Amino acid sequence: MYVSKIANPNTSFLKGFVYAHVGDSVAIDFFAGTGHQYVETRNNIAKLVQPNSFALNKKVQISASTSYFPDSRSCNVVGIIEGSDPKLKEEAIILGAHLDAVGSPGTLFPGALDNASGSVDILAAARALAASPVKPARTIIFIFFGGEECGLYGSKTFVESHLWPKEKVVCMINLDMVGNGTGLSMANGKTFPTILTHFSDVNEKYIHRNFTATEARVNYGRPRTDGAIFEKAGYKVIHLYTSGTVKTVYYHHPLDTTDALTPEIMEDAAKLLYLGVLGLANEKSDSANYSEPAQTYRISASGSNIWFGSDSFSLLSKRMSGDFILQTRVRFIGQGHELHRKTGLMIRSSAASNSPVVACTIHGDGLTSL
């Protein structure tokens, strides 16, 4: 239950439809005498993803004093850092966070965690990227969405605007509630390992926070964050959150003030964003060209590593089974570059990022590893 009377707190306006939140105790009262159990019914719907409707035969009266402002306006604020590479600048990385918060006439919801935290993190990353002596090769677009809480209007407007061609968007990173906790989490990250690796590496090298990632899942419910609108439209979306909550979360609540934040994790989230995005923006585009007369491949690629779960630069692959002998002759082109660069053969049971793997590589400094 919300502490004050609110209707339509974060859903689209539907004429004549009053949307209200009730707590578990009220729901249990609804179920009393129906022969159905509230918790069991709810768990079954979640498990089977099937509706389970029946008549409660109860009358419920809900009252809420509401106002609708059809002429009110919101806006997106969009910033851009144009890529420094004449070709790669056509590709863009989008960072997004909603700037608005849930409000209620007569009660101010400061919205510190939801979502000043995400907006501030993007602003901090934008400032660092703009000042960085290493210029991003790809374009970076920063969007502060308006009207998220009243129906995801800002993100819908952006997606429908086709301001940047969708096929030229590397990914969209959404930040919603990134300011309370001790860890960093990238939802959907495991589905896009070549993107995730830039962020997990930065965390491992410089930030040292508990870092987790999950696979993308189909959302059967209504979309509740701007990233979901991009996801539905077919963009690669990663949601950055903070994990390991330390303070009480006052979600859509007047006590969502700066006291409800842990600024240290916000600082680290901004660093993760800055360094991770810079790595992603400057990732060389991979290529493998075959020369018929010389019978050689010339491979140009970059990635962070090929061990364990991540294989960020597999360039040529062939599916084989049965008995066979594999052999490769490799030579590095150019000298004096990264001594740790490596090339070689990798045998894996499948293309999945976590499949068993045997690798035989030679490093830039001549070290062989198996």
Contact 137, 281 (CB under 8 A): yes
Q: How many helices (H) and strands (E) does the chain have?
A: 7, 12
* Site map (CB under 5 A) of Zn ion, residues 48-87, x = contact: ----------------------------------------
Nearer to Zn ion, 177 or 280 (CB): 177
Nearer to Zn ion, 250 or 313 (CB): 250
CB of 239 to Zn ion, least distance (A): 11
Contact 340, 364 (CB under 8 A): yes
Nearer to Zn ion, 99 or 140 (CB): 99
* Site map (CB under 5 A) of Zn ion, residues 253-272, x = contact: --------------------
Nearer to Zn ion, 76 or 115 (CB): 115
Nearer to Zn ion, 115 or 119 (CB): 115
Contact 100, 152 (CB under 8 A): no
Tell whether residue 180 is a contact of Zn ion (CB under 5 A): no
Place of tokens 């979309």: 223
Pairwise CA distance, residues 135 & 83, whole Å: 8
The region of 138-146, 172-180, 201-209, 253-261 touching Zn ion under the rule CB under 5 A is 172-180
Q: Who's near 97: CB < 8 A, 6+ residues apart? A: 115, 118, 119, 121, 122, 143, 144, 145, 174, 175, 176, 178, 226
CB of 63 to Zn ion, least distance (A): 27
Q: Which of 91, 100, 114, 231 binds Zn ion (CB under 5 A)?
A: 114
Number of residues that bind Zn ion (CB under 5 A): 3
CB of 148 to Zn ion, least distance (A): 6
Nearer to Zn ion, 92 or 113 (CB): 113
The region of 175-183, 194-202, 306-314, 326-334 touching Zn ion under the rule CB under 5 A is 175-183
Question: Quick check: bond before 8 cis, omega within 30?
Answer: no
Name which of residues 298 to 357 contact Zn ion (CB under 5 A). none
Pairwise CA distance, residues 170 & 254, whole Å: 37
Tell whether residue 226 is a contact of Zn ion (CB under 5 A): no
Pairwise CA distance, residues 252 & 261, whole Å: 14
Tell whether residue 115 is a contact of Zn ion (CB under 5 A): yes
Q: Which is nearest to 169 in space by CA: 221, 243, 230, 254?
A: 230
Instruction: Specify the length of the chain in residues.
Output: 370
Pairwise CA distance, residues 152 & 188, whole Å: 20
Tell whether residue 176 is a contact of Zn ion (CB under 5 A): yes
- Residue numbers at the binding site for Zn ion (CB under 5 A): 114-115, 176
